[in-house]
């Protein structure tokens, strides 16, 4: 038993080291991607502004097939913490780490921030409607569109709005998603599909 415990401890240390190596490689690949998007050689500290909205949205489309205008605007807003219209290397790394490798809790906070359009800490029916209208395929003609989307908003709203005040707080959203993970992206895709996640690293790690 003692030998087994020692072996297990050694194996765990080895796995931890491997995880650190992979994490370091992934961080390096993201840094290279950042400078490639800027169109600069890799010279850390030389960037003037950072990755702008347009370059970032092209990247989201090409790498992850995220192309809906309102959603990609929302994703950029959440990444761009200082609201200067550019992603610095730090903003890029922090955002992409959650985007690609975040825990469920981190992803819940991220998705909530994307959907919370006016950043008041609560999701309203109007905000849900804003994103659903832009992302749902096969919607009816314009004259029935509003009614159809409003109906669809009510389904997740009933599951999330536990205090029945017509708004969804982060706590309510978190509780609903933890009960039913599919609700994480209830109002449209704001995270990469798992089949696309590795693409961000693949060409660097090969």
Q: What is the pLDDT along the chain (206 residues), one digit of tens a residue?
A: 445 566 677 776 776 666 666 678 888 888 888 888 888 655 565 556 789 999 999 999 999 999 899 999 999 999 999 999 999 999 999 999 899 888 999 999 999 999 999 999 999 999 998 998 887 666 556 656 677 777 888 889 999 999 999 999 999 999 999 999 999 999 999 999 865 555 665 655 55
| Fold of the CATH domain 2-191+199-205 | Recoverin; domain 1 (1.10.238)
Q: How many CA atoms lie within 13 A of 11 on its CB side?
A: 6
Strands annotated E in the chain: 51-52, 86-87, 122-124, 167-169
What is the Cα gyration radius of the chain? 20
């Amino acid at each position: 038993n003692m030998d087994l415990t020692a072996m297990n401890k050694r194996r765990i240390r080895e796995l931890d080291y491997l995880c650190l190596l992979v994490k370091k490689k992934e961080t390096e690949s993201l840094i290279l991607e950042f400078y490639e998007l800027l169109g600069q050689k890799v010279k850390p500290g030389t960037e003037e502004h950072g990755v702008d909205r347009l370059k970032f949205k092209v990247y989201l489309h090409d790498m992850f097939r995220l192309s809906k205008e309102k959603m990609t605007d929302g994703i950029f807003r959440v990444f761009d913490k200082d609201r200067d219209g550019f992603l610095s290397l730090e903003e890029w790394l922090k955002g992409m780490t959650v985007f690609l490798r975040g825990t469920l809790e981190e992803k819940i906070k991220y998705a909530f921030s994307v959907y919370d359009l006016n950043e008041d800490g609560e999701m309203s029916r109007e905000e849900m409607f804003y994103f659903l209208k832009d992302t749902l395929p096969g919607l009816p003609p314009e004259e029935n569109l509003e009614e159809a989307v409003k109906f669809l908003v009510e389904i997740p709203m009933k599951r999330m709005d536990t205090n029945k005040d017509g708004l969804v707080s982060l706590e309510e959203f978190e509780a609903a998603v933890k009960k039913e993970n599919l609700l994480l992206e209830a109002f449209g895709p704001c995270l990469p599909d798992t089949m696309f996640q590795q693409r961000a690293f693949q060409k660097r790690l090969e």
